[in-house]
Structure 1
């Protein structure tokens, strides 16, 4: 693991059970320092973080075949996305009940009161049944690109669309507890889509303070870890990302640091040069955005070790925690 950036704390090793008596013995002393720790925690996070060079192997999109098709040979940093057809109470791949479909309602009072966050859950479980619709080309500012893709899946058939919507709902609940107003591009209530241009418009219309598009990759076995996709400077046609490049990088770096800390996952070993950060200029979901926006590929569904994490409800909660804390860090400055 070589990620260095804002909010980065390496995962801590498990403590031996033999240390518990000692921990209890000094508990009274430790209590007195909690207040001071709370003050430190409230202080803004440091800046920094190096950008990694983009590997030539990075691919455009996941395939547009049903999730059971043959895995691709390279990373699939995918466009846009939202949803699955799950309703309340449907269980995830590990048997844990999925997080609620509906938002908890009005945002609570909290440090993010007045802030608007848009979460873009990657893909839609129905996309593979609507290939004509999702293959239709839409304008991404710099050219034309397919409306959306099917996304990928684990070898056991747990789809990216299921994963992204579950993590998105978990992150929404956490952000609303902090007082943020959270909007989705899609919440499992559409047969397919929306298209990548529509996804970008949702964030723009909301005048979002931050937008995060949640995905999982479909690369070759042995390729592991997460990466954050940042918008490059694009000024062509109707696309002009120049105003959002700087704040999007800040968002991405903070997101990466918090994701490492909460999940224990390492940055990608196949793109980003170990930084977990990749800059791209070919994704419509980024090119059309007028507000700070990044993509996160949470892991590789086609690697058995990563897939074991992605299909775990416990790990998905950690992923949601890392994503939400990265957004909180960015919004609080």
Structure 2
């Protein structure tokens, strides 16, 4: 299903997507696996859901239950540790944004608070989805973020997380973007897992659309973000063996959106990755496997490294 900031996806450029599909073929034995028309109602996750979706139903996520009282999102600095000395990524800064927060469901009034995303207002954050067995998206994203951080630091990069289990909820989507901007990051990746219908499988990378309005102007980051996202998509296939989404992006593994505050408000190259569909049993078996999560982190790290090395 679509991310908590849901509007119809922007049109995709056929020539650019064809080039992206060619890169994805580098990691695939064949390029026709699991095809199907893209569905406008699937994408990054929103409210947590624990009831399996019907294969014929439009992807949905449950709305969070009311909390006792609203709270203001705590503000803390992103996690900071010195980069490993030397390495091919020495001098580069990468921000990893683990989607959602495991404690968001305890603060639903706070995360439902509207924030400015440049072209309108959306929720501060959402609870995220979960597998039918109860493995939360927010647990998945933080685990993959830790693995990804270790891989990038081993190459000498300076790596920051937008949060690292050090706050009760959030950060809000506007703050997540601001952290990457203020770090002058060379690349930012927001890690997610989807919550779509059973039978919808595979990963997709979300790229920023050209957006100008309010406080949003993505004109400087659209092309470098596409380069970053295309490289991540191709190398994610190679590392994990997963196929591009059969329900988003027309088998390219890429989707372009102009309704996500985390992308709209970014002034540095940034993409989201939906690593799989938590509500599909086959994808869920992968997402809950520590070995597969290591492969997912490796694929993302390889894509970031390829982008930063040019």
Report the TM-score when normalising by structure 2.
Answer: 0.81
Partner of 2:282: 305
Partner of 2:50: 68
Q: Is residue 58 from structure 1 mapped to residue 41 from structure 2 by the alignment?
A: yes
CA contact (8 A) 2:202 2:277 kept: yes
- Return 5+ residue gaps in structure 2 as ranges: 1-17, 31-36, 62-78
1:268 to 245, 249, 271: 245
CA contact (8 A) 1:74 1:218 kept: no
CA contact (8 A) 2:203 2:275 kept: yes
**For the residues of structure 2 that align with 1:258 and 1:167, how far apart are their CA atoms?**
16
Which one has a bigger Cα radius of gyration? 1
**For the residues of structure 1 that align with 2:150 and 2:156, how far apart are their CA atoms?**
10
- Taking a change above 3 Å as real, the CA distance of residues 260 and 168 of structure 1, as seen in their structure-2 partners, is same
Q: By how many angstroms is 1:233 displaced?
A: 0.2
Q: By how many angstroms is 1:188 displaced?
A: 1.0
Cα-to-partner distance string for 1:170-196 (whole Å, 9 max, x where unaligned): 000000011000000011111110000
**For the residues of structure 1 that align with 2:283 and 2:271, how far apart are their CA atoms?**
21
Q: Is residue 324 from structure 1 mapped to residue 306 from structure 2 by the alignment?
A: no
- Taking a change above 3 Å as real, the CA distance of residues 76 and 104 of structure 1, as seen in their structure-2 partners, is farther
**For the residues of structure 2 that align with 1:188 and 1:76, how far apart are their CA atoms?**
27
2:261 to 261, 284, 288: 284
**For the residues of structure 2 that align with 1:59 and 1:183, how far apart are their CA atoms?**
29
Q: By how many angstroms is 1:129 displaced?
A: 0.9
Bigger drift between 195-204 and 4-13 goes to 4-13
**For the residues of structure 2 that align with 1:330 and 1:110, how far apart are their CA atoms?**
15
Q: By how many angstroms is 1:75 displaced?
A: 5.2
**For the residues of structure 2 that align with 1:60 and 1:261, how far apart are their CA atoms?**
22
Cα-to-partner distance string for 1:39-63 (whole Å, 9 max, x where unaligned): xxxxxxxxxxxxxxx9452347644
Cα-to-partner distance string for 1:179-219 (whole Å, 9 max, x where unaligned): 00000001111111000000000000000000000000000
Report the TM-score when normalising by structure 1.
Answer: 0.75
Post-superposition, which runs of at least 4 consecutive aligned residues in structure 1 deviate over 6 A?
none
Q: By how many angstroms is 1:9 displaced?
A: 2.7
Partner of 1:178: 155
Cα-to-partner distance string for 1:138-196 (whole Å, 9 max, x where unaligned): 00000000000100000000000000000010000000011000000011111110000
User: Aligned with 2:222: secondary structure?
Assistant: helix
Partner of 1:247: 224
Q: Is residue 205 from structure 1 mapped to residue 182 from structure 2 by the alignment?
A: yes
- Taking a change above 3 Å as real, the CA distance of residues 154 and 147 of structure 1, as seen in their structure-2 partners, is same
Q: By how many angstroms is 1:8 displaced?
A: 4.9
Question: 5 Å matches for 1:1-333?
Answer: 4-6=21-23, 8-11=25-28, 55-59=38-42, 62-64=45-47, 66-68=48-50, 71=53, 73-74=57-58, 105-333=82-310
Matched pairs, number: 268
